[in-house]
Amino acid sequence: MSSEALVPSPHRGEGDGEGRESREYRWRMPTSWWTRSRHYLLYVVREFTALPLALWLLWLLVEIKRAGDGPARYSPHGSTAFVVFSVIVLLFALYHSFTFLTLAGTIIHVKFMDRPVPPSLIVLSQFALQALLHLVYWFAFAQGGVIAAVLIPVHVLVQGILGPLGVVPVVDRHYDTWVRVLGNPLVKLYLLVLIALPFFHFAHRLRYLLVDLGMPAAKGTPAQAMFYGGAVVVTLVTIWVLLTTVPISFG
């Protein structure tokens, strides 16, 4: 007896394949995949950091807008709930900054004299560059009365935690100094960069986080319009708030 007789061929309509239509099996990633490994969980947390940072920047935009209400109606946020919220945001911001700078050694490949630079040196250079930018911007904006830095963690620490607790003097604690600083065109430019530009980064991370969590609709054009269009809206609103709340002053 030949082997052909022992193994029925579905192409001939024999055996178990007779009368059945072939079906394509599509594997779907379970929505709980990120709970199966610590590395997966940390990845999701890293992508999720965009949400609390975005919420804190939106609060800062509202705080700037409130300066236009006049001294009688203006009162800086200093409640315990706000400080706790800022502490949580700071933890997310620090985790985001650490993972972002650490990955620089993996995604950036540099050669020197035809030899690859070790990833550890690239990571150290990123931290050194961050520290230098902190130093330069801190002194540049301290002269105008703004206690902030170029990266969000320092800004959250100063204006969201240390200022409300009375540890350091912050300009938004007093209406007169807050309005005077907001009129500075360099401060307006700084705040525009600080608030608006990160939202394009946040939109990209949050959209693909939804894709990774099993929401294919996040790949579509409507989702792209919602996320990236939202970043454009935040940018336009930020420009409008900065230009209309306090007039530009070169004094």
Q: What is the pLDDT of residues 131-157, one digit of tens each?
A: 555 444 333 333 322 233 345 888 888
Per the DSSP assignment, residues forming a β-bridge with 112 are 115
CA distances from 92 to 19, 59, 72, 179 (A): 58, 16, 35, 30
Q: Residue 4's pLDDT is what?
A: 46
Do residues 244 and 183 lie in contact, with contact meaning Cβ atoms separated by under 8 Å? no
Residue with tokens 């007789």: 5
Q: How far apart are the first and last CA of the chain?
A: 102
Residue with tokens 């230009």: 243
- Which domains does the chain possess? 30-244 (1.20.1300.10)
d(CA 199, CA 201): 5
pTM of the model: 0.69
Indicate the DSSP class of residue 19: T
Which residues fall within 8 angstroms of residue 244, CB to CB, at 6 or more apart? 68
Which of 64-78, 93-107, 177-191 is modeled with the greatest confidence? Answer: 177-191
196-206 pLDDT, tens digit each:
888 888 888 88
pLDDT of residue 233: 94
pLDDT in tens, 8-33: 444 444 455 555 566 776 767 777 78
To the nearest 10 degrees (0 to 180), the angle between helices 119-142 and 80-107 is: 140
- Highest mean pLDDT of the ranges 96-100, 113-117, 125-129, 218-222: 218-222
